[in-house]
Amino acid sequence: MNAFTNRLAGELSPYLLQHAHNPVDWYPWGQEALQKAINENKPILVSIGYAACHWCHVMEKESFEDEDTAALMNEHFICIKIDREERPDLDHIYMDALQAMTGSGGWPLNVFLTPEAKPFYGGTYFPPRPAYNRPSWKEVLLGVAQSFREKKHEIEAQADNLTSHLLQSNAFGLTTPGGSGQAASRLFNRENLRQIYENIMKTADRVWGGFGHAPKFPQTFSIQFLLHYYHFTGEAQALQQACLSLDKMIQGGLYDHIGGGFARYSTDREWLAPHFEKMLYDNALLVMVLSEAYQLTRRPLYASAISSTLEFIEREMQSPQGGYYASLDADSEGEEGKFYVWSRQQVEEILGSEAEWFCAFYDITDQGNWEGKNIPRTKQLPEEFARLHQYDLASLQELLDRGRRKLLEARNRRIRPATDHKIILGWNALMNQAYCRAYAALGVEAYRQTAIRNTGFLLNHLQGTGIHYFYHVSTGATTRFPGFLDDYASLTASLLALQEITSDTSYLEKAREIAEFTILHFSEADSPFFYFTHQQQPDLILRKKEIYDGATPSGNAQMAFNLVYLSILLGIPAWKQRALDMICSLENAIIKYPNSFGLWADVVQAITLGIPELVITGENVDKTVQELLSNFIPYKVFQSATQENKRFPLLAGKIILEKPLIFLCWEYSCQTPVNDIPTLIRNLENVHKFTDKPIQ
């Protein structure tokens, strides 16, 4: 090891490898570093980030690559670098600590720990010199080191108090199992759904779509709730806000008009200037909600965004083996967004005589629309633009298609942003669900085959034994870290989605197996909730329970829906009861803060309105199944069979004829089967229109 190669050189994470040649004596999180801190009685500096994080790169260049700064870090601290995507459990603990200390958080996350790994001070980005009302990083290092030397006992007491606070804040949900009957009767009613809807709409941007102010994130769970709420209530503003949000995201720079796919968030209200990193999970969640929006509205804009986003995923984020990579960086050549922006002159050189109309449509000007450059965006739909400019719509579409292809070819010759080649189980399972939803909405067989292939990859490549029943992450041929709750919850959900579009009950059997493992190894005693980590994971100061729906769904929220779904398909009432206990424990939070509990709110809506049980039987059901799936039917539990099957309650006793039979059931009580999907849809509408299903 030389002075400019540290211990991260042996790691697999692209983010950690980015720091392998810093003069900082970085350690990965592990026993060696933790024991060294105890032996030398030194505080620990933990710095957490991820490969696509812009400000992580900035701080590395300004501070971690500076020899004088590195010398201070090496002298006074045991320095540990963590990839938050490899170890979200550690990130959750120390981010909670930072938020408790400062009221805010973000990445890079820099937190100082006692030798026993208890946090006592922290922050996010620190500049090399005092700026932005922040002290310099060197000032922070010297101040913390001095305090630890001179006030060690006070710091240890502060760290003990903070750790106790984290433990106490994690003690929610302790209930008597099955004791939610009274709470259920109070929570699951249409008035509370109305309150949730109104609280979502309080934050709605009625002009530019989305929720809240800049920076603006997609918040797909809130959009999903609105689509479902409109479907059941006919509330026009719910549909209007959901579609406005999707429309403005697709028209703006958050959406990559040249190559497809969505960036992580917008830095402005109008969705023009994204933070250019592209995350797998954002694209998965947006494809899911776009698929539902298309089923509901049949708008070509949504179908186009789905197909171009999945083309991007397959082109730039799919491994040869069938897994999906974690992210694409925001930066290239040391500059954020450089890969994605254009000057008008560049476009004119590529497109020649067709540049004028292309530039007019995509808002590409001489002066630029962002920092002197242009982020392609649209201010009108093609049909509106064609009508306004008296341009033939078909000819315009052909011109735009040619222009995008040519610009994509030219862009592909640029120096690309780095790809984080980690394959994360939970994020792959989300993308798998996206392919299932896209297949249901659009009927593209390739999407179904891709979902089948990806599931095979996950089950074959990331499955292990014991605590590593499933691994969290794969990099190359190496799998690492025991799976977290989010991994198991999302994988279960993806298997349930796949059994719907394939009629293959082996996926349901596997979902049951994974759910049973999760219940056994992640449950909290005397609480219906699940811990984020496996009970045998040894290297944490506490086991956290995560309940907020953030950029990805909360593992607990996803498990609540999984348990409801599986309880119906497998005939296990106790699993539904556990889900009810979980939801009722969060009653006030879900109603008051639905933007932070978006998936929870949608599960409340599902249980309140009732979950229809749909079955199709027949010797040849594929065409009928696809026709059913193409319809917008929120919350359904669905199975199909080509032969008799007594293993599952919904299929037991259903006869198999040459022509398909379509059953609509509630709690296994089935109406007379019908022979066509339109009749089924009418029957469903009548049930939801005239019946408030009671909570069982």
| pLDDT tens per residue across span 20-58 | 999 999 999 999 999 999 999 999 999 999 998 889 999
Q: 333 by DSSP, 3-state: which?
A: coil
Question: Does residue 390 belong to any structural domain of this protein?
Answer: yes
Report residue 430's pLDDT band, with 50, 70 and 90 as the boundaries.
very high
Q: How far apart are CA 20 and CA 32, in angstroms?
A: 17
CATH number of the domain that residue 132 is part of: 3.40.30.10
Peptide bond between residue 215 and the one before it cis (omega within 30 degrees of 0): yes
Indicate left, alpha or beta for 24 from its phi (over 0: left) and psi (-120 to 50: alpha): beta
Q: How far apart are CA 217 and CA 652, in angstroms?
A: 45
Domain that holds residue 641: 613-690
Question: Does residue 317 belong to any structural domain of this protein?
Answer: no
Angle between helices 555-570 and 505-522 in degrees, nearest 10:
130
Question: Does residue 653 belong to any structural domain of this protein?
Answer: yes
The helix (H) or strand (E) run that includes residue 311 is helix 300-316
Average confidence score pLDDT of the chain: 94
Strands 27-28, 44-49: pairing kind: unpaired
For residue 151, the one-letter residue type is K
For residue 92, the one-letter residue type is H
Strands 613-617, 637-641: pairing kind: parallel
Q: Which of 169, 202, 231 is the last residue of a domain?
A: 169
Name beta bridge partners: 45: 79, 112
Q: How far apart are CA 610 and CA 587, in angstroms?
A: 18
Task: Note the pTM of the prediction, 2 decimals.
Answer: 0.95
Question: Does residue 347 belong to any structural domain of this protein?
Answer: yes
Q: What residue spans of 571-674 are helical by DSSP H?
A: 573-585, 587-592, 598-609, 622-629
Residue 30: exposed, middle, or buried by beta-carbon count in 10 A (0-12, 13-18, 19+)? exposed
pLDDT tens per residue, range 604-641:
999 999 999 999 999 999 999 999 999 999 999 999 99
pLDDT tens per residue, range 475-499:
988 999 999 999 999 999 999 999 9
Question: Does residue 19 belong to any structural domain of this protein?
Answer: yes
Q: Which of 111, 140, 169 is the last residue of a domain?
A: 169
Q: 324 by DSSP, 3-state: which?
A: strand
At 162 the pLDDT is 95
At 429 the pLDDT is 98
Report residue 13's pLDDT band, with 50, 70 and 90 as the boundaries.
very high
Q: By C-alpha distance, which of 258, 269, 282, 399 is closest to 337? A: 258
Q: Which of 169, 190, 221 is the last residue of a domain?
A: 169
Question: Does residue 218 belong to any structural domain of this protein?
Answer: no
Q: 399 by DSSP, 3-state: which?
A: helix
Question: Does residue 608 belong to any structural domain of this protein?
Answer: no
Question: Does residue 594 belong to any structural domain of this protein?
Answer: no
- Overall number of domains in the chain: 3
Q: How far apart are CA 657 and CA 642, in angstroms?
A: 9
Count other C-beta atoms under 10 Å from residue 20's C-beta.
16
Q: How far apart are CA 219 and CA 229, in angstroms?
A: 16
For residue 356, the Cα-to-chain-centroid distance in whole angstroms is 38
Q: How many residues does the chain have?
A: 696
The helix (H) or strand (E) run that includes residue 265 is strand 265-266
